[in-house]
Structure 1
Amino acid sequence: MTHVPLHRSLIFRLLVTSVTIAIIAVVATSWLAAQSTSRAIRQEIGQTLSDDKSVYDELLTYAATHRDWSGVRPLIADRADALGRRITLMTENRQLIVDSATGPSLELARPSATVDPLQVDLVLTGRTERIDPRIVGPYRLTAAEQRAMRDQLDEALECVRGYGSEAIITTGPHARPRLAVTRAGVVPYACPLAPDLTRSERAPIEELRELVAACAQEREVTVTPDLVVAVLDPVKGVPIPDRTERAADCLDSARYTQLKPYVAPPALLFVTDPADPYAAPASPFSRDNIVRTGTTTAVVLVLAVLVTVVVGGRLVRPLRALAEAARRPGNHQRVPVTAKDEIGYLATALNELAEHRERAEQLRQAMVDDVAHELRNPLNNIRNWLEAAQDGLATIDGPVLTLLHDETMHLQHIVDDLRDLAAADAGNLRMHPELLYLDDVIEQVAEAHTRSATTAGVSLVTSFDGDPAVVADPVRLRQLIGNLLSNAIRHSHRDGTVTVRSSTGAGRVTIAVTDTGSGIAAEDLPRVFDRFWRADESRARSTGGSGLGLSIARKLAEAHGGNITVESVPGAGTTFTVRIAVAAQPSS
């Protein structure tokens, strides 16, 4: 086996590729991890609220339910102990409200969040409304109103369930309870999901309506307890879209004005490290991180090398077997197909190539034997007569010259046929197409074969359906029809009939040559167009045929863009049919 240089070895190239990919992957991953870590650290500075979001939520709840921060110290102390962090609350002017522990000044520190129930941080809470719905403000209900509202909600809940639906009690604006349908059967339009307006709510709702009306400069404004704003048409009693939209835009500012006296003022929240509020997390490029990254890189490289060697070895093994099989073409060795990957496909292709090569070698050997056999008889006859004349045993007279001439012409016929087949196989068959009429060609060929038909005692009949024009090589077309006629005459019994028919249909012309010979067995039909094949070996060589006529006929039909088929009934006769394209009729 030829030695492959290391730098050209498939394993070496695969190894280099894998190591390169591993290095790039590790470096890129390390760089991306470092960048992501650095970015996360920068975002985390001043955002210690992410340590425990509940601090913000609990302080927001306190601010929504109290008018100031005077009682918040116990809550902050509890949360600071639970988290182990320093929690500080300052006014917007950086005046200290509450600090869970003493420590460095936070004068320049960035707050974790601003606690303001009238300006809720939507990113932290995931809510969609800026104003905290838990703010009661002036909408506080009496105990009797709360019981009545609860009774209405219970009745509404039973109503919803009666329609095949389910609902839960939720908190709406101003801590007002209402039903939210969670699983709807029939839409419960008949069930009131919100309680009626109570006596305690009327004055605040009217105040809110006046604030909205003043902001929107609209007199006909209505506001429901669920904070649905509308500007009604005084005649039709339906909302006016554009004016209603303008009034709805004023709702938040009106609620802010109304509820501000009832909530704690905005405060800055700091959640920091008790010892150093400005301390930054450890750098991702510290010595420990670098060592960890380097170790991981080395492990990945070692694994890549091991996997590459193992996979490369398994990959090269079948390739070597394929190379050895391809290097020994004489024995047509088959290689095992061990997988359905590219190598398996290559092995299959090589096996198919070996089969084709073996079949071609068999056909070549058979053809050489047939050619030698075909040439041997006429050459032996010529040699024998010449040697007899040379020895004085025979006289070269007219009959002998005629015999020698016939044998020579037979040899010439075989050589010409072989030349035509070789040219057709190589795609170099010379064609000189021209416009001609098919019936004229058939008549010429039939007339040329009349003598041989008469000698064989066979009747030659022609039958035409129209006179189609075709574009064809007249010499090759006559050769095609002549080969079929010669074959039909040779294989017809005395007193038999050979018929040549032409017809036109579906844009093609059909030439059918039918004989009344002994026919061809069904199992032999696929071999009819093989070179030197004869159905009756015992008599065919005495008839003068080269055994190549039908093979040439098929090549000539294909050269004209057509095809040739055969049908036969044993004991009744055989029909060869040629189909080629019809040419456009010439203008008169």
Structure 2
Amino acid sequence: MKSLLVRFFLFSLVIAACSIAVTAWLASQATTGAIRQEQGDALRGDAEIYDRLLGIAARHRTWAEAKSEVDGLAREYGRRLALTDRGGKTLLDTGTAGSPPLPITPKVSIDALNVDSVLKPGATSKIDPRAVGPFRLTDEEFAKMRTVADRLLNCTQGKFEIVESPNRRLRVSTMPPGTESAWPECPSGEELYTVTHTESVAYEDLYNLFNGCMARLPGLYAVKPLNGRPVPLDWEVLTVRYSDPPVVECMESARREQLRPFVAEYAHLFITEPTGGQPQAIDLSTTGTNRIILVALGILALAGFASWVTATQLVRPIRALTAATKRTAEGDRTARVDGGAGEIGELAKSFNAMSEKLAETERQRQAMVSDVAHELRTPLGNITGWLEATQDGLAEPDPHLIDMLLEESLLLQRLVDDLHDLAQADAGTLRLHPEPIALDDVVDQVVNAQQNREILLRSETTPVHLSADPVRLRQALGNLVANAVRYTPPGGEVVVKLFQWQDRAILEVVDTGTGIAPEDVPHVFDRFWRADKSRSRRTGGSGLGLAITRHLVEAHGGAVSVTSRLGEGSTFRISLPLA
């Protein structure tokens, strides 16, 4: 299980299997939901039929009077509707003569004065609000109220709408009683909130029945009639809604007694198909289970094949990268990988860049070994040759010979010291001993030590103080000054400048020497690089001085740079932080 190809393939198979399982589960849930929704729609249809029949019962005294409406309702919903009394006698049936017998159990009972709270949730009363009975306004009262409402709406520019209550009483919506003064120029709408003669008679009868019930309850008092006061928008008697339960029950009992002669009688409702049978139950067949399994297995096989192809394409560049890494570890610096696009491509590019960097480092190492051998060969050859000549008696060990040998030895010592400094810098073990110093004193020391009769060497300084290693700074600045003096022809000038810029100390070594070619400027601080390719000892040193200067300056947290124009001179700049 260590192979990436196998792991990716198995992981893809697991994902595909889970996807298929989840898809099947979601399809099952969606199908179940659709079935439940269809069943819910059927139940909602039955609830709507129940509500419509309640309204019909509330508006008619007998079911015989409502036959045409019930027939229309049956046609609208495509159902057979049958109503029977408590004894099973048929009151109304929309079926034909050839319809089969009704089921034994009715669907629900229809009673406008005792509404089923399950089918009518949220109802404030068990009495259907459409059962108005003696409260229904006469045509004359309705016409008068319509005229008043239309005039008021026209005057208020139609900002309200007419609402008609079940007993035909009109109200102007969003205009509570007493707000008519907002339109003083409009006719008064007081008639819309005044109890009519029909309502007054009905209320008086209702409250007589109510008071009769209340009189039978000890310790309770009767509620007086409304006496012409405005009635609620839904015209129902709400004055006792939030009273004690016995009071509310008395009002409900009084209303039922008053409305009973005006509504259709209690009836059992049967809802069936037009042919008479019960609606067929919805069932989810399981005959296609094998087919579903076969399709799922086919999808899984297809997903497995696609996963294997994808995994192979993913692993191929990784394997190539692994092979190239092994070749690089064995010393081959020419290994390269073509990873294409994406993350693997970015990894391949990074590897190629690393390989090129290793190759460049190897070339630099080989060049450095060659340069070191070259630098050591000349002084060692001179020392060996003169010592052999002295041993053979061909040369006398006079002071001149000894001075020459000492100079060659010192050259070797400087080369070894430079190489040691570079090795410490590369290893990060180059130690500094910082202390508070005056940088202008360091400049004066370097300038005095590098004085030359053939060129003008001077300084332009301002007092600058910082914490640094004075020995290493003199070494770094001395390398720059010595390099400038070496490449400045007789009669030229070298100026060492010191000044402060923002929070940094700036040292500049400006010469009027031969300058550096633009293509050589990036290599100035490389090891063993010299502008004079002949590497003549007369025109140049070991080629390590500027590389050492860069490491010493960077160890102080600074930076060194150069600008030059060929034939006009160069400017080397050291920037050091004051803090």
CA–CA separation in structure 1 for the residues paired with 2:552 and 2:87: 104
Amino acid at match of 2:53: L
Matched with 1:343 is: 344
CA–CA separation in structure 1 for the residues paired with 2:73 and 2:366: 99
Matched with 2:401 is: 400
Q: Determine whether 1:8 maps to 2:8.
A: no
How far is the alpha carbon of 1:552 from its aligned partner? 1.8
* Matched position secondary structure for 1:345: helix
Q: Determine whether 1:465 maps to 2:454.
A: no
Q: Does the C-alpha gap of structure 1 residues 397 and 85 become closer, same or farther in structure 2, counting only changes over 3 Å?
A: farther
Partners of 1:208 and 1:258 within 8 A in 2: no
* Matched position secondary structure for 1:197: helix
CA–CA separation in structure 1 for the residues paired with 2:354 and 2:20: 45
Matched with 2:306 is: 307
How far is the alpha carbon of 1:258 from its aligned partner? 8.6
Deviates more, 1:318-327 or 1:90-99: 90-99
How far is the alpha carbon of 1:147 from its aligned partner? 5.1
Matched with 2:411 is: 410
* Matched position secondary structure for 1:566: strand
CA–CA separation in structure 2 for the residues paired with 1:455 and 1:142: 135
Matched with 1:20 is: 14
Matched with 1:437 is: 437
Matched with 1:566 is: 562
- 5 Å matches for 1:97-176? 102=101, 105-106=104-105, 137-144=133-140, 146=142, 174=167
Matched with 1:450 is: 448
How far is the alpha carbon of 1:456 from its aligned partner? 5.2
Q: Determine whether 1:527 maps to 2:523.
A: yes
* Matched position secondary structure for 2:452: helix
CA–CA separation in structure 1 for the residues paired with 2:52 and 2:161: 24
How far is the alpha carbon of 1:419 from its aligned partner? 3.0
Q: Does the C-alpha gap of structure 1 residues 497 and 198 become closer, same or farther in structure 2, counting only changes over 3 Å?
A: closer
How far is the alpha carbon of 1:321 from its aligned partner? 3.7
CA–CA separation in structure 2 for the residues paired with 1:523 and 1:539: 18
CA RMSD of aligned residues (A): 5.5
Amino acid at match of 1:412: Q
How far is the alpha carbon of 1:271 from its aligned partner? 5.2
Q: Determine whether 1:483 maps to 2:479.
A: yes
Matched with 1:322 is: 321
Amino acid at match of 1:55: I
Partners of 1:49 and 1:112 within 8 A in 2: no
How far is the alpha carbon of 1:139 from its aligned partner? 4.9
Matched with 2:192 is: 197
How far is the alpha carbon of 1:64 from its aligned partner? 4.3
Post-superposition Cα deviations, 1:154-198, rounded to whole Å, max 9, x if no partner, equal 6677778x78x9x987755656567889xxxxxxx9799x99628
Amino acid at match of 1:413: R
Deviates more, 1:49-58 or 1:16-25: 49-58
Partners of 2:17 and 2:300 within 8 A in 1: yes
Partners of 1:86 and 1:272 within 8 A in 2: yes
Gaps of 5+ in 2: 175-181, 211-220
Gaps of 5+ in 1: 1-6, 182-188, 232-242, 584-588
Partners of 1:178 and 1:195 within 8 A in 2: no
Partners of 2:488 and 2:514 within 8 A in 1: yes
Q: 1:549 aligns with which of 541, 545, 551?
A: 545
Post-superposition Cα deviations, 1:342-375, rounded to whole Å, max 9, x if no partner, equal 2233233333334434443444444444434433
Q: TM-score, normalised by structure 1?
A: 0.70
CA–CA separation in structure 1 for the residues paired with 2:575 and 2:222: 94
Q: Does the C-alpha gap of structure 1 residues 94 and 103 become closer, same or farther in structure 2, counting only changes over 3 Å?
A: closer
Q: Does the C-alpha gap of structure 1 residues 361 and 527 become closer, same or farther in structure 2, counting only changes over 3 Å?
A: same
How far is the alpha carbon of 1:391 from its aligned partner? 5.1
Partners of 1:122 and 1:128 within 8 A in 2: no
Q: Does the C-alpha gap of structure 1 residues 121 and 215 become closer, same or farther in structure 2, counting only changes over 3 Å?
A: farther
Amino acid at match of 1:506: Q
Q: Does the C-alpha gap of structure 1 residues 348 and 94 become closer, same or farther in structure 2, counting only changes over 3 Å?
A: farther
Q: Does the C-alpha gap of structure 1 residues 224 and 51 become closer, same or farther in structure 2, counting only changes over 3 Å?
A: closer
Amino acid at match of 1:17: F
Partners of 1:554 and 1:564 within 8 A in 2: yes
Amino acid at match of 1:435: E
Q: Does the C-alpha gap of structure 1 residues 452 and 564 become closer, same or farther in structure 2, counting only changes over 3 Å?
A: closer
Q: Does the C-alpha gap of structure 1 residues 388 and 24 become closer, same or farther in structure 2, counting only changes over 3 Å?
A: same
* Matched position secondary structure for 1:21: helix
CA–CA separation in structure 2 for the residues paired with 1:398 and 1:547: 30
Partners of 1:516 and 1:574 within 8 A in 2: yes
CA–CA separation in structure 2 for the residues paired with 1:94 and 1:47: 29
Partners of 1:567 and 1:574 within 8 A in 2: yes
Matched with 1:58 is: 52
Partners of 2:102 and 2:270 within 8 A in 1: no
How far is the alpha carbon of 1:308 from its aligned partner? 1.4
* Matched position secondary structure for 2:287: helix
Partners of 2:496 and 2:507 within 8 A in 1: yes
- 5 Å matches for 1:349-368? 349-368=350-369
* Matched position secondary structure for 1:288: coil
How far is the alpha carbon of 1:324 from its aligned partner? 4.0
CA–CA separation in structure 2 for the residues paired with 1:217 and 1:529: 113
* Matched position secondary structure for 1:399: helix
Post-superposition Cα deviations, 1:377-406, rounded to whole Å, max 9, x if no partner, equal 334433443454455544443333332332
Matched with 1:506 is: 502
* Matched position secondary structure for 1:371: helix
CA–CA separation in structure 1 for the residues paired with 2:516 and 2:288: 88
CA–CA separation in structure 1 for the residues paired with 2:421 and 2:578: 25
* Matched position secondary structure for 2:538: helix
Partners of 2:561 and 2:572 within 8 A in 1: yes
Q: Does the C-alpha gap of structure 1 residues 203 and 84 become closer, same or farther in structure 2, counting only changes over 3 Å?
A: closer
CA–CA separation in structure 2 for the residues paired with 1:429 and 1:112: 98
Q: 2:578 aligns with which of 578, 582, 588?
A: 582
Matched with 2:420 is: 419
Post-superposition Cα deviations, 1:439-471, rounded to whole Å, max 9, x if no partner, equal 3xx5356436635423554424352324x131x
* Matched position secondary structure for 2:192: coil
Q: Does the C-alpha gap of structure 1 residues 106 and 133 become closer, same or farther in structure 2, counting only changes over 3 Å?
A: closer
Matched with 2:214 is: none
Post-superposition Cα deviations, 1:52-100, rounded to whole Å, max 9, x if no partner, equal 6643453244244335656667766776788787767689999998787
Q: What is the identity percentage for the equivalent residue pairs of Structure 1 and Structure 2?
A: 37
Q: Does the C-alpha gap of structure 1 residues 415 and 255 become closer, same or farther in structure 2, counting only changes over 3 Å?
A: farther
Q: Does the C-alpha gap of structure 1 residues 150 and 390 become closer, same or farther in structure 2, counting only changes over 3 Å?
A: farther
Matched with 1:294 is: 293
Equivalent pairs, count: 543
